[in-house]
Chain A
């Protein structure tokens, strides 16, 4: 990176480290931002993007490393403090107050006053003037929530720039915008770049990254993978950086050539849901592991949710052993023998305040109804059984799950579904955010379950992991199932190509 040495970076992080119980969220990450630059920050969920941002803005206390602004070491104590240093942040969910007017949102805490009274006229005039710089001509006296998310986003940017004015961090600002709105937002970003601000841009839409950013930095599992000039990198290389492993290494370690013989246990035809996943066909045999590969936001989690009935499908039908299955909600899915470990175990999965025993018994109890309570003794036996089988590291079954490490929480989640003895288990990112040892155990467990005849659908962004245990892999892109790989076709190389296609494949 010759250019980063040419002039002093505006903002620089050196060896930033952040440790959470059980995981290292950031492991000595370097990052530098020039004035007048849009610097994209990429990585899958849990890669450490938001942890890095939170360390930069003082929302988290870093455990090690330096943060330098214009060459001087800073130590922001919180987002307000960071703002005073000149670092402003705009989040995906607009952090403004919907019940205040646009002008009040822009000026909150800094309203122009005369004799102690707010001068409404001046406040509104100032707001109009500020927003005019962003090409917005709107009624600033109306409540913020009477405008679209895109307009709110621009207002949030305007507030951040007005109050800080050196560094602007945009954390997935485009996630809920349509293409026209994204264009409007990008015009704003370009004009701020002209004004010499340094902009950190986080997004998982690769097209947007290529369109707007000058340089990009990729993180994976809390570590810096690399910083590149956007114009000098192609899609395949970028995806490889994000998902890991180099192209050449792939020959499948063991030929899992599961003969798809006989009738499939489950078959879904034309299954889909408008706006979240295009209709797809999928069949799964007993004892088969089907992997799902794709980037964040590609529709991989949506696939799982539609299958499990969390989000109701609006087309297609499901058949189990040849008979039609009704799957309009997750209760029906559970009674059909489905299980689902969702991606974000903190919000959708384990209940942190309940004990290990209670968490494990939850799905089984829900299945047989609340009227017939599973006796304590039985619950305890069950919990101890799975604590031993899955090697859950807990002093005893009565410890609140929230106190366990990530990998052990994940195992508790798995145990919850295993006690219901499902015939079809969906795992969404089962190895996210857990340490290497637990990682290997979960993979071993997946192979065991499949050997016992269970059918599994495993979503993962760790491609070599998918290679290790999948009989077939489905590749998801832009909310469509775009490819299906089986047997010897399953290599990370093939998966990356399928994910990257079609735009920049020609580069190779």
Chain B
């Protein structure tokens, strides 16, 4: 068996065991209603985590996405309040803007050979600052089109609702999986993560790929911003602080190696669901403080980093024994 599948399998097992424990205590947790809510509540995080998966597989990091989500919300709210534009036009404008923003960061990372950490940290402050410039206060969104979006759902058997935004997240995940495994771009992302120098020698267009990766992350952060604005019906420049870190946590728990080169978009979905499940459990329990979510996620993350280190170590040893 391929050793790199191990983190993914570990994530899947943890998710199933955790769900079994929850089910044993609260049988109601295994209902389509809970599952529907799980998808809806974590839709924006899931979408942004797909972009983060590509970034991390390529060996990079994108710290700007949380701020970009907040900027998106404020941008949409202000545009809808101050101009007569239809939300669909505003969405198109926003997505163009965030995609270009991501592409610009990718360009700086590649052409100026700057570490992604620093470049996207600057991007994080920039996007947050732009949100403040647009509005310091929370701006409500009251457009009839938004009500349509919020009310559209598919009623699953068992009366659970698969909302538009929950469904959108699933579609993004499916598209992400196809992009990662069935396109040359996807293979190039893995190649860059496996070794930039070697990838270049093998003819991978490293520059185009890097710009593409961060543009994709920017696009998905914009999309997550739209989803978040539908979820909250408002734009607020102080929203989604630290969401980039939640996304990174979901990606790592999903079995993607922080060192790059290895990981699965599908794993990230399970990572997001594990984090959502912990939250749901705490709500069901009712007595636990919500900080327990952070503590459990912290412990999980730590366990995964140790697991990954162990894997890298054992495969390294095996290779040395072989050579």
B-binding residues in A (CB < 8 A): 79-80, 83, 95-100, 104-105, 108-109, 111, 113, 116-118, 120, 142-143, 145-146, 148-149, 159, 176
B290 within 8 A of A: no
Cβ A143 vs Cβ B199 within 8 A = no
Residues of B with C-beta under 8 A to A79: 201
Look across to chain A and name the residue whose beta carbon is closest to the beta carbon of B261.
A99
Residues of B with C-beta under 8 A to A149: 322-323
A103–B233 alpha-carbon span in the complex (Å): 48
Q: Which of these, B183, B194, B319, contacts A118 with CB under 8 Å?
A: B183
B51 within 8 A of A: no
Produce 1/0 per residue, B181-223, CB < 8 A to A: 1111001001101110011011110000000000000000000
Q: Which of these, B184, B195, B319, B322, contacts A97 with CB under 8 Å?
A: B195
Look across to chain B and name the residue whose beta carbon is closest to the beta carbon of A149.
B323
Cβ B187 vs Cβ A111 within 8 A = yes
Size bracket of the B interface: 20 to 34
Q: Which of these, A96, A99, A105, A176, contacts B262 with CB under 8 Å?
A: A99
Cβ A99 vs Cβ B178 within 8 A = no
B33 within 8 A of A: no
Look across to chain A and name the residue whose beta carbon is closest to the beta carbon of B205.
A109
Cβ B182 vs Cβ A120 within 8 A = yes
Cβ A109 vs Cβ B183 within 8 A = no
Residues of B with C-beta under 8 A to A145: 315, 319
A-binding residues in B (CB < 8 A): 2-4, 178, 181-184, 187, 190-191, 193-195, 198-199, 201-204, 261-262, 315, 319, 322-323
Residues of A with C-beta under 8 A to B323: 148-149, 176
Q: Which of these, A98, A100, A109, contacts B203 with CB under 8 Å?
A: A109
Residues of A with C-beta under 8 A to B194: 97-100
A143–B195 alpha-carbon span in the complex (Å): 15
Cβ B183 vs Cβ A117 within 8 A = yes
| Smallest CB separation, A406 vs chain B (Å) | 25
Cβ B187 vs Cβ A118 within 8 A = yes
Cβ A118 vs Cβ B191 within 8 A = no
Cβ B201 vs Cβ A118 within 8 A = no
A214–B261 alpha-carbon span in the complex (Å): 41
Residues of B with C-beta under 8 A to A109: 184, 202-204
Residues of A with C-beta under 8 A to B182: 117-118, 120
A108–B194 alpha-carbon span in the complex (Å): 13
Residues of B with C-beta under 8 A to A143: 2, 4
Cβ B187 vs Cβ A100 within 8 A = yes
A59–B313 alpha-carbon span in the complex (Å): 34
Look across to chain A and name the residue whose beta carbon is closest to the beta carbon of B186.
A118
Residues of A with C-beta under 8 A to B181: 118, 120
A79–B204 alpha-carbon span in the complex (Å): 13
A142–B178 alpha-carbon span in the complex (Å): 19
| Smallest CB separation, A24 vs chain B (Å) | 27
Report the 6 A-B pairs with minimum CB-CB distance, sorted nearest first. Answer: A97-B194, A99-B261, A99-B194, A109-B203, A117-B182, A149-B323
Cβ B202 vs Cβ A108 within 8 A = yes
A109–B204 alpha-carbon span in the complex (Å): 7
20 contacts between A and B (CB under 8 A): A80-B201, A95-B198, A97-B194, A98-B194, A99-B193, A99-B194, A99-B261, A99-B262, A100-B191, A104-B187, A108-B191, A108-B202, A109-B204, A117-B182, A118-B181, A118-B187, A120-B181, A146-B2, A159-B202, A176-B323
Question: Provided the pairs A109-B184, A148-B322, A149-B323 are in contact, do residues A100 and B190 lie with their beta carbons within 8 angstroms?
Answer: yes
